[in-house]
Structure 1
Amino acid sequence: MADTQDAPDPGAALIARMAERVAAARKKRGLPRRVLSDLSGVSPRYLAQLESGEGNISILLLSRVAAALDLKVEALLADEIPMDHDAQRFATLYRNAPAEVQHKVSALLAPRDPGLMRAGRISLIGLRGAGKSTLGRLAGEALKIPFVELNEDIENAVDMPLAEVMAFYGEDGYRRLEAEALDRISTVHDRVILAVAGGIVAQKNTYDRLRERFHTVWIRTSPPEHMQRVRAQGDVRPMQGNPAAMAHLKELLTARSPLYDLAEAQVNTSNRTISSSLNDLLTTIARHNFLDPVT
């Protein structure tokens, strides 16, 4: 027969736990024992025994004590302390809140090391035509890490080209898909180079999340080179049919430059060959230790 001489007594553990919680709850509420006695109808002597772990209180009397302490009786008995009313209410509010609100609450309650959050992940930002896709792909090959286009990830997720995504989901729907893709990529990839659309910086919540989870590099060039490269790609959105396309491009660049300037680093591709710009990007990544683990 097994030796049970040293086995813990679950009854004693329950009484000790209950005693500790009654005493803690009473002191937290600033109630003298005699006041708790008046509220619960349990004698001060019995309460003293209960708090010392010597009382063998009935469940009926214990429920009175719990009610007087504004607790559910299980809060005095459970292995783990159940959430109080406020905690339950906040938990419900959190579950029902939009993802953006949940993200902000989590960041406030459980702040994480920003360097650790971003380590190994790099995002290239900037207007179309700066060279994000070309440099990102080449840098990924050189560093032997994945390269991902955010818009391509969105297209794959919904199984339709970007033009149809915009037509079907609209601007608001596209921005939602953009945020979801960003979460997906940052979850899947510990080391990655990501190229994002130029307008992501105008979406504050998404841009904040991007800068939290990725080291950001602004790939920039001059307005004439932006225009030349975009037209060479056969894509003149949003300047198609606009007789003042260059003025519009300059206005867009002026408006977004303060947001792009929030990036941790910049690479200027103006009047630079692809190989020179690639070398600049690789040098920037190495100099800032973007791929080094945080110790």
Structure 2
Amino acid sequence: MRFGLLGTGPWAESTHAPGLSEHPDAEFTGVWGRRPEAAAALAKRFGTRAYDDVDALLADTDAIAIALPPAVQAPLAARAAAAGCHLLLDKPLATTGEDARRVVEAADRAGVASVVFFTSRFDAETAGWIDAQASVDGWFTARADWLGSVFSSGDSPYAASPWRREKGALWDVGPHALSVLLPVLGDVDRVTAARGPGDTVHLVLRHVSGASSSLALSLTAPPPAAGVAVELRGAAGTVTFPPRGGGSLAAFARAIDALVTSAGTGRPHPCDARFGLAVTELLETAELSLPD
């Protein structure tokens, strides 16, 4: 499958570009970015072509991988779908339900496949754990702590990200936590939110299944306090989230596999744009409920 890449930032450079260039079922056709000089440098590094015109890249590819801020990703994803390109998207899909819905509708109209790259859903170890817990009945409650130190450690390549500074942990790591909890506990019919220190946000979710869950999300945690922990409690006892078994490159390769399979079979992937829309709508509801 011929893949183009939209985006030239740290995530594109460390994961998307090497993932596309190394995957046996992907032909890395070219890259477009909002900064032409960065696109040229990335293309040179990975032996592909830099495009000045995004529509020209879309015309030359079967699928598009996007590593751009969500407000930029959503309209370009809809544009790519309209051009007949399958979509390998990043989380969050968008920062409004309206924009996310446009992507879903464009993909549906064009009949293209979509996959949203929620890292934990494509890491072999954590994805297996999620699938195993989703098959168990009787979960009572869960908690998820997704605490990063992007803005407090001083050495993160994402600390200069304008959209992360504007939208904070709710939109950056919130999708990760929801991508783990929703497949296990099911849809949510009520969410409340409260602010903590820095950009920290606490969410309480009531699931249609009757279970409840709580999330603590931050990009400003002190470095010694940073980390990820998920715990489920129910009739089967207590289980905890395993550490990821591989790096982002291995997970991204599995996301490419998933898109290629979905495009070939016509069967939607569980992490398609429609799931991305559900996550976006939940986060939007949570954001609107936060006190000023």
- TM-score normalised by length of structure 1: 0.32
Which one has a bigger Cα radius of gyration?
Answer: 1
Name the structure where helix makes up a greater proportion of residues: 1
Name the structure where strand makes up a greater proportion of residues: 2
- TM-score normalised by length of structure 2: 0.32
